[in-house]
A = this chain, B = another copy of it.
């Protein structure tokens, strides 16, 4: 792979093409600001006009902004709304389209007050897909994150045995990912055993692993800003026939979905494949979330693989496939991989084997 040329001006150009009738776009999601400038601070704003770009940062972040976004003009604000208002006056803007998913109503009402007379409109959904199709450099970063995560999990699995607490495994897994080069973990790692595995978003706690448990581990690493996302479910000591049956069913749904993914297919279709598979076994009611989501600078981003979603998969999108069956009070099984959509199908980026494994 060639070294990555600076991608920022090309991304801004692509966004500008959708500027529509607005005099300027106001970008507020920190991940979009990073994608468009390189600035990684958690507070800021980006204004994009027809022939100018200004990154707004507060005093805590100005030095960092200059260093991370050397090609972009920096404007320092004390209150973000005041910074936007100052630039609006300076450029005599008549209409600003803003990122409505990334602005609170509280700040919006202040903004309307500060911009009296200016036409302020929520950006249409177009921006949501800004980051959906990845370059090979972005895919490589996700792949490296997945590699770090896989190595860490492999090292930690040796400590899984009855008597160990969920939280001890989670702490060790996070530590190993970071020692292995993850700048952060993708999200709060889920290590859920026994009935806790029936909670799709369980927080690891003091529960001690018991023989016969399902042990669900949902985890990911962040590498150069890019996330991995993967779920492995194990059986501890033994697997009963119902666990084996459901594991096989969830794995079948997972494999069918991965087999169905390719450029040109609607996102909702992948979800339908999973749901139909679980439905045939009478377990669709125990699958309480969508089939997958995009992964990149955010661990959850566009597109969404969920019921009725009409967006069409494109080559270069990176999405999770994560069917699950949750039996409240008993146990749960989820199997998740992150895949790169290609013209012919997909390539799996996460690397831990998904066959039923008894630890």
Contacts and interface: CB of A to CB of B under 8 A. Distances in A.
Interface residues of A, number: 39
A192 to B, nearest CB: 11
A25 to B, nearest CB: 15
Given A41-B201, A175-B171, A184-B188, A288 B105 contact: no
A63 B199 contact: yes
Copies of the polypeptide in the assembly: 2
A105 B111 CA distance: 12
Contacts of A179: 171
Interface stretch (A30-38, A95-103, A273-281, A346-354): A95-103
Interface in A102-123: 102-109, 122
A60 B200 contact: yes
B288 A60 contact: yes
A101 B108 CA distance: 9
Nearest to A329: B63
A312 B290 CA distance: 47
Given A171-B175, A171-B179, A175-B175, A60 B289 contact: yes
Given A64-B201, A108-B105, A109-B100, A178 B188 contact: no
A202 B61 CA distance: 9
A18 interface: no
A352 to B, nearest CB: 22
A61 B178 CA distance: 28
B101 A103 contact: no
A40 interface: yes
Contacts of A203: 40, 183
Interface in A301-347: 328
A61 B200 CA distance: 7
Contacts of A167: 178, 183
Contact of A201 (B61, B174, B183, B198): B61
Contacts of A98: 105
Given A63-B328, A64-B199, A101 B101 contact: no
A288 B101 CA distance: 29
Contacts of A100: 104-106, 109
14 contacts: A59-B288, A60-B288, A60-B289, A63-B198, A64-B199, A64-B201, A64-B202, A100-B105, A101-B106, A104-B104, A109-B122, A171-B175, A175-B175, A175-B178
Given A60-B289, A101-B106, A175-B175, 11 more contacts: A40-B203, A62-B288, A63-B199, A101-B104, A101-B107, A103-B104, A103-B105, A104-B105, A106-B122, A183-B203, A184-B188
Interface of A: 40-42, 59-64, 98, 100-109, 122, 167, 171, 174-175, 178-179, 183-184, 188, 198-203, 288-289, 328
